[in-house]
């Protein structure tokens, strides 16, 4: 049962993409300005492609994100917030449009039967994509109060696995554009991803603030349930998620994700051990993040566990954690290893083991002030301080 929390990372990745489409819209006047901004950004990208500075395939992700934001802004223009059913329909249509755009680009430039591109060509493509991102980052460096630019980059950072940058950018969005429940929930989600799937103390504070202003905000309630599960309170997690399902509109797409989490509480197979694999595996490589898929930086062990039959996943996950614990018992001078073990137990919801591992680490590393300082920071982050 301890591996029920591992499916979170997959769910969070889906939520990262889908929830911004379902959140309440901003005021119509702001929407009109946003529409013009996103159209200008799309025209600038198209101009760079026409001049040969960038290639179509290399700007696909950025173009799709801009297109999604443009659709949101267009829906806001000329009407007041409301009409939940129409917003859900718009979200579904926007998602379909993004898929269609990606498929169209692939049909134009992709060849499924063709061998892999030469390494040099792939590196060139990555460089061109990085150039597109760098242009927006340079703009934000010169105008750090451009809220619309920040709102473009925050979800891009999430999809690239650059969670530190995502957290910073979501904080900047709140600083520039003001607090709102949906913005706080997005910041909370970024904090969770930054912490390898753990709903940290900082994330809880952000979700609590969001729920104080909007007690029925689905995104924050989902992570509230996850926090309960990681605390070992499965009954509270179930109650939170079942209430979320019960109160959701019939068309709400997020109910599928939440139903899967509830089914896993009942013993249905979980979908993978990504969170614990990230926690126990080697540190991610940010330099290669853009080229590694939807959860960049994930160690090979995560993919291996996800590919196993459901019945074998629990043993594989437990083996990773137990193996790390055994290695640290023999050689306790690995500060990074202790950090990963404490975090892994926290992801598993094994609070007592996380506290014990933290105490063992402090004893083993008592002569290393830097390492013990990192342990203290982790204890504060995970809410393990006594």
Measured at the CA of 169, the angle between CA 165 and CA 172, to 5 degrees, comes to 145
- The whole-number pLDDT of residue 35 equals 64
b/e string for 236-267 if b means 16 or more Cβ within 10 A? Answer: ebbebbeebbeeeeeebbbbebbebbbebbee
Task: Convert 173-215 into a string of H (helix), E (strand) and C (coil).
Answer: HHHHHCCCHHHHHHHHHHHHHHCCCCCCHHHHHHHHHHHHHCC
- The whole-number pLDDT of residue 230 equals 81
* pLDDT above 70: percentage of residues in the chain: 53
83 token code pair: 């009409």
Give the CATH superfamily of 2-265: Tetratricopeptide repeat domain (1.25.40.10)
Tokens 């301890």 belong to which residue?
2
SS3 266: coil
Q: How confident is the model at residue 48 (pLDDT cuts 50, 70, 90)?
A: low
245 has a pLDDT exceeding 80: yes
Domain ranges across the chain: 2-265, 274-382
Q: What is the mean pLDDT of the chain?
A: 69
Report, as an integer, the average pLDDT of 165-171: 94
SS3 84: helix
351 has a pLDDT exceeding 70: yes
Report, as an integer, the average pLDDT of 14-35: 51
Q: Which residues contact 115 (CB under 8 A, 6 or more apart)?
A: none
Count Cα atoms within 13 angstroms, Cβ side, for 69: 27
- Cα separation, 11 vs 103, in Å, equals 23
Do the first three CATH levels of 2-265 and 274-382 match, i.e. the same topology?
A: yes
Of 119-128, 140-149, 168-177, least confident by mean pLDDT is: 119-128
Confidence (pTM) = 0.50
Tokens 């950090």 belong to which residue?
339
277 token code pair: 């694999």
- Cα separation, 146 vs 141, in Å, equals 10
Residue-wise pLDDT tens digits, 79-122: 444 445 545 554 444 444 444 444 443 444 444 444 554 554 44
CATH fold, domain 274-382, is: 1.25.40
SS3 253: coil
């Amino acid at each position: 049962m301890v591996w029920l929390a591992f499916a979170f990372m997959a769910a969070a990745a889906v939520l990262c993409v889908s929830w911004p489409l379902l959140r309440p819209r901003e005021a119509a006047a702001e929407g009109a300005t946003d529409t013009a901004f996103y159209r200008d950004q799309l025209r600038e990208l198209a101009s760079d492609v026409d001049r040969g500075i960038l290639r179509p395939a290399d700007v696909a992700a950025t173009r799709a994100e801009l297109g999604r934001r443009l659709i949101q802004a267009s829906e806001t223009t000329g009407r007041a917030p409301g009409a939940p059913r129409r917003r859900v329909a718009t979200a579904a249509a926007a998602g379909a449009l993004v898929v269609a755009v990606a498929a169209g680009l692939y049909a134009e430039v992709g060849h499924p039967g063709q061998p892999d591109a030469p390494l040099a060509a792939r590196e060139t493509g990555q460089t061109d994509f990085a150039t597109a991102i760098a242009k927006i980052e340079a703009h934000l460096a010169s105008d750090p109060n451009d809220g619309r630019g920040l709102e473009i980059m925050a979800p891009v950072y999430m999809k690239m696995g650059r969670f530190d940058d995502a957290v910073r950018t979501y904080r900047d969005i709140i600083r520039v554009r003001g607090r709102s429940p949906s913005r706080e929930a997005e910041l909370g989600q970024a904090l969770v991803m930054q912490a390898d799937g753990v709903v940290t103390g900082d994330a809880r504070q952000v979700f609590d603030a969001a729920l104080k202003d909007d007690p029925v905000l689905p995104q924050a309630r989902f992570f509230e349930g996850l926090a309960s599960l990681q605390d070992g309170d499965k009954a509270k997690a179930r109650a939170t998620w079942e209430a979320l399902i019960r109160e959701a509109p019939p068309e709400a797409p997020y109910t599928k994700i939440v139903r899967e989490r509830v089914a896993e509480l009942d013993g249905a197979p979980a979908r993978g051990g990504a969170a614990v694999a990230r926690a126990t595996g080697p540190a991610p490589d940010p330099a290669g993040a853009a080229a590694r898929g939807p959860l960049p930086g994930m160690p090979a062990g995560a993919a291996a566990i996800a590919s196993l039959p459901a019945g074998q996943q629990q043993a594989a996950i437990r083996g990773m954690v137990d193996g790390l614990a055994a290695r640290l018992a023999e050689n306790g001078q690995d500060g990074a290893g202790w950090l990963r073990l404490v975090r892994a137990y926290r992801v598993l919801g094994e609070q007592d083991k996380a506290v014990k591992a933290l105490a063992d680490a402090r004893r083993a590393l008592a002569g290393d002030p830097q390492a013990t300082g990192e342990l203290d920071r982790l204890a504060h982050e995970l809410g393990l301080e006594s």
